[in-house]
Amino acid sequence: MSAQSKQVDIRDNYQKIFGVEMLEFGNQKFPKPTVKKLKKSDPLYMLTEKNKVILLNLFTDYSGFREFSQVKGIEDSISLQKEFYSFLNADAQFGDLMDKISEKINNGKFIDTVTIDQLTDVASKYFYIKGIDEQGRYEGKVCGGLNGNSANPSIKHPFIEAFSVAAILENFQKGNNLYDQFVRGMKNLNKIQFSENQEQRLLEARGAMYLFMFNNQEFRDTLISEYEKRKQVLPFYLKV
């Protein structure tokens, strides 16, 4: 994002950037956060257009939205919108993260320096072995739900995690096609003799998959390339 003549303040623009809609699943209704599409002339256009996944990931993982989604009596659109923005303005943790992005856009301020090894270590844990099927084959998943980062809630890296998810999804079955790398890793697991104990075997397979992706040069190159595209809004400096 180029230098702005007008300072960007994400907190002051929550209603412009974020939205919420009610989805129905069977007999249940639940709110879903969205990032709005802005006009190209808007100073926040590049932030929302190129970093939608990052914003949504930070929102779902580092705000109180899960608690908000349990609130009753917000099924109608007017109540939903009113309560959503009231909740958003009061969320201190999420607001602090948005302030750091605003400061990066406005002043180029970094809050941390991250090495490519540190970044790849976090990003590799989104390639997750979730189980072993009845034929003894490994079942894998990427990014969503449980993963190697969410399984260890005591260690958190909000911006690195959100960026990693965006970089992976952007290149999963297009771009550098990380899906092919994931499949290669899964096939390699079948060649390794792990423990006979099912639980221990699963832990060892997860570790082996993380290591495979950590050492994968194409994956590292993808992370570096995606960082270059987004570095104007990411408040960490990547040391390659």
SS3 162: helix
CA distances for 39 relative to 12, 14, 36, 54, 83, angstroms? 18, 16, 10, 19, 26
Residue-wise DSSP of 80-149? HHHHHHHHHHH-HHHHHHHHHHHHHHHH---SEEEEHHHHHHHHHTTEEEEEE-TTS-EEEEESSSS-TT
Asked if residue 236 lies in contact with residue 160, where contact means CB atoms within 8 angstroms, the answer is yes
User: How deeply is 171 buried, as exposed, middle or buried, from its count of CB atoms within 10 A (0-12, 13-18, 19+)?
Assistant: buried
* DSSP character at residue 20: E
Residue type, 239: K
Instruction: Calculate the CA 79 to chain-centre distance.
Output: 28
Asked if residue 173 lies in contact with residue 181, where contact means CB atoms within 8 angstroms, the answer is no
Residue type, 182: F
pLDDT of residue 53: 96
Q: Does pTM top 0.85 for this prediction?
A: yes
pLDDT of residue 216: 96
- The β-bridge relationship of strands 112-115 and 236-239 is parallel
pLDDT of residue 155: 75
Residue 65 host element (H or E): helix 65-68
Tens-digit pLDDT string for the chain (240 aa): 444 457 889 999 999 999 999 888 878 788 899 999 999 999 999 999 999 999 999 999 999 988 888 776 666 778 888 889 999 999 999 999 999 999 999 999 899 999 999 999 999 999 999 998 888 889 999 987 778 887 676 678 999 999 999 999 999 988 778 999 999 999 999 888 899 898 999 999 999 999 999 999 999 999 999 999 999 999 999 999
Residue type, 151: A
Task: Kindly tell me the number of DSSP H helices and DSSP E strands found in the chain.
Answer: 11, 6
What is the Cα–Cα distance from 122 to 168, expressed in whole angstroms?
Answer: 12
pLDDT of residue 1: 47
Token pair of 47, please? 């932030």
Q: Which residue in this structure is represented by tokens 């034929």?
A: 135
Asked if residue 205 lies in contact with residue 198, where contact means CB atoms within 8 angstroms, the answer is no
Residue 22: strand pairing partners: 31
